[in-house]
């Protein structure tokens, strides 16, 4: 018996949706390719200790159909544990620009169906819409008690210079070693809360940031440093908002982003433009990306303000978030106060991705009412925002 042969192991399911991380060259450019475990993980010692354990069972349908698939095992970690894992690939691998609410539902259902079989889950996903998906899943997965970590790469796993190896291995190790009951996004040695992350670079390896919250964990050469004081306790958010139900994982499905939209304010924007946008058929909610700490053109009686107030009176939920990466919207300046008096909801320090998916989540709940949805958009539901209770300008 060699060292570590009797070491404990954790089981993790890797869900491959597509994205750059699993792409290979083709005549039409880089496209997602199947066979990720065999092509990309099996040949790498970091992901395969050479023991080739027995297959693992996964559930592949809502009816509970089981399928035995090949599993691999990592070498012994510095924590004296191995991670044994297998891969479930989407039937149709996606470029992340094609991901939509149906994709979110498919990911959530896969996790729910296999929840009892694995200690954690890693979702491989393209980077373009990764922050939207991590935000959406954070609201969809209720009573979550296991880590769900989304990651991807700026270059394919098969390329010589790629961040794919480190991003996937880091995600796998955290999912198999740390009971962080959140949807997270792991990139460039940082574990971010999923609904606090946003993409900040098109090709840098440090592609994601969490401007208004420290990372949940960082990885060094020797250890994973978890900020446990920031980690949401199991069901804390649900209990705080009176949504506590059964312990069993629940999925809030049928999110639909079609009735919600984002609109970015710019200098010279006219009220007529905004009014036309707000009369889009079927529109129920709008994320308004404003200047600075929540400001828009015009005053209390301006056409711009009247257009927004009219939309609110018609039952459209309008949420004010800042165009800035860091900081929060507030009514400290007169233009923002005007918006608040017109019925616009303040999204505090939420990212656009979190605000959009949260609004879709709230509107999809049975019996959702406009007033209740608007109120909850300013309240912390899943750690997505910082609730403000004090003044913004005060002496230290």
- Where in the sequence numbering do the catalytic residues fall? 20
Please identify which residue in the block is written with the tokens 């698939």.
69
Strand duo 217-219 + 224-226: pairing = antiparallel
Q: Name the phi and psi angles at 266, rounded to 5.
A: -140, 155
Q: Give the bridge partners for 208, in sequence order.
A: 199
What 8-state DSSP symbol labels residue 291?
A: B
Cβ atoms of 48 and 73 closer than 8 Å: yes
Cβ atoms of 7 and 76 closer than 8 Å: yes
Cβ atoms of 148 and 137 closer than 8 Å: yes
Cα–Cα distance for residue pair 347/350, rounded to 1 Å: 6
* Terminal Cα distance for the chain, rounded: 62
Cβ atoms of 339 and 329 closer than 8 Å: no
Q: How many CB atoms lie within 10 A of CB 392?
A: 11
Task: Mention every residue, 6+ apart, whose C-beta is less than 8 A from residue 91.
Answer: none
Please identify which residue in the block is written with the tokens 């750059």.
20
**In 3-state terms, what secondary structure has residue 347?**
coil
How far, CA to CA in Å, does 50 sit from each of 36, 171, 205?
17, 21, 30
- Helix (H) or strand (E) holding 357, with range, is helix 352-363
């Amino acid at each position: 018996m060699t060292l570590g042969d009797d070491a404990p192991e954790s089981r993790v399911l890797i869900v491959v949706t597509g994205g750059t991380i699993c792409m290979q060259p083709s005549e039409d450019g880089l496209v997602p390719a199947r066979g990720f475990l065999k092509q990309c993980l099996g040949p790498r010692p970091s992901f395969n200790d050479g023991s080739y354990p027995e297959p693992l069972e996964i559930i592949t349908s809502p009816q509970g159909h089981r399928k035995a698939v090949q599993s691999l095992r990592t070498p012994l970690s510095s924590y004296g544990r191995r991670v044994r894992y297998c891969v479930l690939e989407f039937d149709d691998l996606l470029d992340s620009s094609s991901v939509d609410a149906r994709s979110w539902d498919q990911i959530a259902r896969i996790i729910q169906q296999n929840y009892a079989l694995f200690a954690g889950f890693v979702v491989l996903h393209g980077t373009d819409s990764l922050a939207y998906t991590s935000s959406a899943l954070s609201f969809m997965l209720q009573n979550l008690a296991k880590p769900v970590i989304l990651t991807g790469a700026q270059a394919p796993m098969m390329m010589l210079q790629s961040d794919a190896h480190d991003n996937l291995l880091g995600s796998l190790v955290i999912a198999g070693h740390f009971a962080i009951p959140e949807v997270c996004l792991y990139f460039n040695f940082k574990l971010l809360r999923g609904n606090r992350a946003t993409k900040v670079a098109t090709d840098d390896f440090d592609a994601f940031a969490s401007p208004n919250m420290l990372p949940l964990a960082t990885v060094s050469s020797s250890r994973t440093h978890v900020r446990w004081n920031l980690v949401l306790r199991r069901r804390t958010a649900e209990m705080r908002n009176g949504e506590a139900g059964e312990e069993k994982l629940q999925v809030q499905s049928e999110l639909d982003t079609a009735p919600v939209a984002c609109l970015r304010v710019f200098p010279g924007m006219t009220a007529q433009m905004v009014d036309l946008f707000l009369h889009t058929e079927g529109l129920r909610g709008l994320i308004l990306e404003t200047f600075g700490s929540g400001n828009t053109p015009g005053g209390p009686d301006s056409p711009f303000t009247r257009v927004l107030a009219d939309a609110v009176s018609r039952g459209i939920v309008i949420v004010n978030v800042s165009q800035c990466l860091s900081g929060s919207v507030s009514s400290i300046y007169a233009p923002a106060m005007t918006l608040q008096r017109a019925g616009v909801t303040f999204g505090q320090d939420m990212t656009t991705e979190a605000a959009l998916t949260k609004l879709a989540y709230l509107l999809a709940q049975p019996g959702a009412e406009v007033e209740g949805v608007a109120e909850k958009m300013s309240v912390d539901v899943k750690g997505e925002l910082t609730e403000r209770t004090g003044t913004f300008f005060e002496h230290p």
